[in-house]
Structure 1
Amino acid sequence: MKLVHRAIIGPGGDAGQAALSTIAGRTRAVSAGRTRAVVGRGVAGAIDPATTTRRRAPRRRRAPVQHGSARCPVSSSDGADSTSAPASIVVCRHAPLQGSRSRTGEGERMIQIEARHLIHCDEDTFWELFFSPEVNERIYRDVLKFASFEVLEDREDERSRVRKASGQPRVHALPAAIQSMLGPSFRYIEDSVFDKATRRWSFTMAPSLMSDRLRNAGALRVEPSGLGQVTRVACATIEAKIFGLGRALEGIMEKEMRAGWDDSAAFLNRWIAEHPTPAAAS
């Protein structure tokens, strides 16, 4: 810049000074024009929060999900069909031969299961075997693999037969989390009543721990199914109110009960074949 200044001013100072003034004026004019242009763009593009309303893009609302929108007819008590129950909460009224499963109660917390098995004897023989100490010992020890099963009380009158028993089922086959929760000494107390008028056996099982969170109750009856045989109908209600493990434990309890019913029915039919009654032998 000093070299340019000297070249313009040079030895003839007045002429060079005039030229320098002209260049400086043009430079200031150009700079001023650019400044105005920049400022003009800034003002035009600026947002004054005091006078400008901020707008947000409208949110897209999701359509509500219709849970259980499918409807299925459910037989009511008077025989008429109703469509007031969703398909996911249909309770089976008439169970198939092998078994059924449904959820019931508030929030579908409890499950109800039912199983049917053909037993090759008449009704009187069935109940005789059902209460037989020898048959019960073989079923619980050899078939169900219980660590122990003991009848604590067994009394009857003209109306009913009452039994209290203590059982210690196997837990080694359960998942590790449930094994640690139940412990190795887990057992239950069974309170049951056989109604002689209706020939129906009902039971409740009280576990040795978490009795307020675990529920297992049910009933058993037989139906005539031709000459010399009956259908054993067993049903149960299962509930496990344990956060994070309730559904899993209910599924395990259901699986174990179904397996026990299947195995005990097979054992009874083998026992009957190996120990024929005098009427059947003749």
Structure 2
Amino acid sequence: MSKFTTTHEINCTPDRFWTIFFDKPTIENLYLNSLGVIDIQVVNQSELSTRFFQKLGVKPKMNFPDPLAKLIGEEYRYTEEGTLDKTSNLFTWKWTPSTLVDKLKIEGVLRVQPIGDSKVRLISDVTVEIKVFGVGSLMDSVFEKQIRTDNEAKAVFYNQLTAG
């Protein structure tokens, strides 16, 4: 199991960040063009007075070593379900994989903290727990590396988007 945190600064207000974060065309652009996924579907979005719910269906590119690729399968997908608590600026999320459902646990919390008038700090706390005998620690490190890479790409994307 690995727990890690990534931190990035984005040049916008918290409200502007969440507007971008939940915008369907922006989500598709981010995932397809910056993260390089094969397919992204915004399955559901709904809003209550203090919460916003989102469910995404994602088919990532397979960047796994051969033994892991065979174990996970060519049709690997995951569903990301998340809830934004608008009062605390916390987005809690979890991935549900299409394979090895009872063996993979990937979840996290994204915090958005204002820094001055037009900048926020994104703090992403992630837990990756893999329960596969013999390859669990390898899978842990592969998923952690990919999530760290994706979070960096997201920060670059958001800053490019908010620059103009």
Give the structure with the higher percent helix.
Answer: 1
SS in 2 for 1:113: strand
User: In the TM superposition, what are the counterparts of 1:109-258 in structure 2 within 5 Å?
Assistant: 110-171=1-62, 173-258=63-148
User: Structure 2 length normalisation: TM-score?
Assistant: 0.96
2-side partners of 1:197 and 1:118: how far apart? Answer: 20
SS in 2 for 1:121: coil
- The alignment-based identity, stated in percent, is 29
Instruction: Give the alignment partner of residue 270 of structure 1, picking from 139, 153, 160.
Output: 160
Q: Which amino acid aligns with 1:268?
A: Y
Contact 2:6 2:148 survives alignment (8 Å): yes
Q: Deviations over 1:250-281 (max 9, x none)?
A: 0000000000000110011111112xxxxxxx
Q: Deviations over 1:126-170 (max 9, x none)?
A: 111111112111110001111111011111111211111111111
2-side partners of 1:271 and 1:159: how far apart? Answer: 26
Q: Considering only CA atoms, is the larger Rg found in Structure 1 or Structure 2? A: 1
Matched length: 164
Contact 2:73 2:99 survives alignment (8 Å): no
Q: Which has the higher contact order (CA 8 A, sep 6+)?
A: 2
Q: Which amino acid aligns with 2:58?
A: G
SS in 2 for 1:153: strand
Q: Deviations over 1:158-192 (max 9, x none)?
A: 12111111111111x21011111111110011111
2-side partners of 1:169 and 1:254: how far apart? Answer: 14
Tell me the C-alpha RMSD between the 2 structures: 1.0
- Report runs of 4+ in structure 1 exceeding 6 Å deviation: none
Q: Cα distance, 1:196 vs. partner?
A: 1.6
2-side partners of 1:238 and 1:257: how far apart? Answer: 10
SS in 1 for 2:148: helix
User: In the TM superposition, what are the counterparts of 1:75-94 in structure 2 within 5 Å?
Assistant: none
- Residue ranges of structure 2 left out of the alignment (5+ in a row): none
Q: Which amino acid aligns with 2:21?
A: F
Give the structure with the higher percent strand.
Answer: 2
Q: Deviations over 1:212-239 (max 9, x none)?
A: 1100010111112223111111111101
- Residue ranges of structure 1 left out of the alignment (5+ in a row): 1-109, 275-282
2-side partners of 1:235 and 1:140: how far apart? Answer: 20
